[in-house]
Amino acid sequence: MTDHPSSIVVPGQMPDVSERKQARRENWRLIRRRPAFLIGMAILLVWVVCALFPLTIAPHHPLDFRTGLNQSPSWDHPFGTDQTGRDVFSRVIAGARDILRIAPAAAVLGVLFGVILGMLMGYIRGWFDIIASRIVESFLALPVVLVGLLAVTTMGNSAWVVIGVVAALFTPIVARTVRAAVLAERELDYVTSAKLRGESTMFIMFREILPNVMGPIVVELTVRLGYAVFTVATLSFLGAGPPPPSPDWGSQVSDNYSSIVSGFWWRTFFPAGAIASLVISVNMIADSVQSVMEAS
């Protein structure tokens, strides 16, 4: 995962709407032509379908354990069974739901608040910007996983706490990027002319500037999504995930990793592979989006 430098600024003269649409269409065409994007999308899609219809896809119920303990992968149980005889394949499929509910929610919320904050900081400037910048900086100093653990310890182990903490810690990162982009935009002619037309600040910020900084925002969203998946999986590995018997991937790895040594590798390998494949797919998408956006 790469945290791109914060200086992605979309330089622009005064773009008119149709030009922008055209540029967007062109970018989209370029992105679609990248194999990494297509592969990433395909993997992601598989997990999304699993998350939406786990019980339809899974051959067994993820909590049904009377199928024989610790069976190695077979035709009936492609990923084997765990120590209580639950089908690992079905649990991996069902486990997609937890992470795909929490991680995107955290990423979207983080980006949403980040965009609002960044726009305000970049456009209003002045004291607000100075104070907010300082707060943003100190938030950046907070290690996400550590603060996640701290929050779960003091506030309880619910999905909302995890979403809230991850979103709160992503907000300043996004805000910083958006602020930089807005700073470059606000000096451009189209903003000045909108001001002269007497448009309201809100209108200028969200109708004029926002469409022009969508590039970095989209990049942020995809990159943050990758981080969110990674962070949520790590938190649940560390015991701050949804409680059992939820088939959450991180908890599955953490419950089972010591069993690798007794030869039951499938109990850890498949949920771990699921985490890795999801992070890789999101990062492949993020990477493609980022390179196309930066090139344009």
Partner 1 sequence: MSEVNFEGAGRPLGKLEQELISSYMAKGVSRRSFLVRGSYLGLSAAFLGSIVAACGDDEEGGGDSGGAGEVKEGGTLRVASQRPGSPLDPVGMDNLGTYTVVSTCLEYLCGPGEGAALAPMLAEEWSPNDDGSVWTFKIRKGVKWHDGGELTAADVVATLDRLSVGNLAAYIVEGAATAVDDSTVQVTLNAPDGQFPYQLSVYNPQSLITPADFATGTVLNDRKTGTGPFKLESYDSAIKAVFVRNDEYWGGKPKLEKVEFIFSDDIDTQINGVIAGEADAIVLFAVVGGDALLNNGDVTVESVKGASHRQLWMNTREGNFTDVRVRQAVALGIDRQQLLDVVLQGRGVIGNDHPIAPTYEYFDASQAQRTRDIEKAKSLLAEAGKEGLAVTMFVPDLVEIPQLAELMQSQLKEIGMDVTLNVISTDTFYDSWCKVYDSTNEPAGCDGGEEFGIVDYGNRGTPDVYLVKAYSTGEWNSAHYVSEEFRAAVAAYQAALTVEERKAPIAEIQRIANEDVPYVIPYFYDSLFAYKKNVAGIRATGLGHFYLNSAGFTS
Partner 2 sequence: MLVTLWLLATIVFLLVSVLPGNVGRKVLGPFAPEAEVQRYNQAIGTDRPLLQQYFTSIRRAFTLDFGKSYGTREDVRDMVLDALGRSGKLALLAFVLTIPISIVAGIIAARRQDKITDRVIVNAGLASSSIPEFVTASVLLSIFAVQLGWGKAFANPPDNAGPIEQLQYLVLPATAMAIAYFGYIARMTRAGVITALHADYTRTATMKGLSKRQVMVRHVLRNALAPTITVISVQIGYLFGGIIGVEKVFNYAGLGSLMLGAVGAHDVPVLQGAVMLVGMIYMVSTLLADLLIAYLNPRIRLGATK
Query: Which residues form the interface with partner 1 (CB under 8 A)?
Result: 63-66, 69-70, 83-85, 156-157, 243-246, 254-255, 257-259, 261-262, 264
Instruction: Give the bridge partners for 81, in sequence order.
Output: 87
CA dist., res. 212 & res. 44, Å (int): 28
Tell me if 288 contacts partner 2 by CB under 8 A.
no
Question: What does the block give as tokens for 14?
Answer: 């005064």
Judged by CB under 8 A, the stretch of 9-17, 102-110, 139-147, 212-220 that binds partner 2 is 139-147
Residue 275 binding partner per list partner 2, partner 1, none, with a CB distance cut-off of 5 to 8 Å that depends on partner kind: partner 2
Q: Which of 138, 187, 196, 198 binds partner 2 (CB under 8 A)?
A: 138
Minimum Å gap between C-beta 107 and partner 2 is: 15
Which residues, 6+ apart, have CB-to-CB distance to 289 below 8 Å? 31, 37, 218, 219, 222
Residue 141 binding partner per list partner 2, partner 1, none, with a CB distance cut-off of 5 to 8 Å that depends on partner kind: partner 2
Tell me if 167 contacts partner 2 by CB under 8 A.
no
Any idea how long the chain is? 296
CA dist., res. 49 & res. 94, Å (int): 10
Question: What does the block give as tokens for 32?
Answer: 């679609």
Region at 143 (left for phi over 0; alpha for psi -120 to 50; beta for the rest): beta
CA dist., res. 231 & res. 225, Å (int): 10
Residue 284 binding partner per list partner 2, partner 1, none, with a CB distance cut-off of 5 to 8 Å that depends on partner kind: partner 2
Tell me if 158 contacts partner 2 by CB under 8 A.
no
Q: Which of 10, 46, 57, 147 binds partner 2 (CB under 8 A)?
A: 147
DSSP string, 55-102: HHH-SS-TT--TT-TTPPP-SSSTT-B-TT--BHHHHHHHHHHHHHHH
Minimum Å gap between C-beta 160 and partner 2 is: 13
Q: Which of 93, 100, 121, 145 binds partner 2 (CB under 8 A)?
A: 145
CA-based angle 184:188:190, to the nearest 5? Answer: 135
CA 279 to the chain's CA centroid = 9
Tell me if 295 contacts partner 2 by CB under 8 A.
no
Tell me if 260 contacts partner 2 by CB under 8 A.
yes
Q: Which of 155, 200, 201, 245 binds partner 2 (CB under 8 A)?
A: 155
Binding site for partner 2 (CB under 8 A): 1-3, 5-7, 134-135, 137-147, 149-155, 226-227, 230-231, 233-234, 237-240, 253-254, 257, 260-261, 265, 268, 272, 275-276, 279-280, 283-284, 287
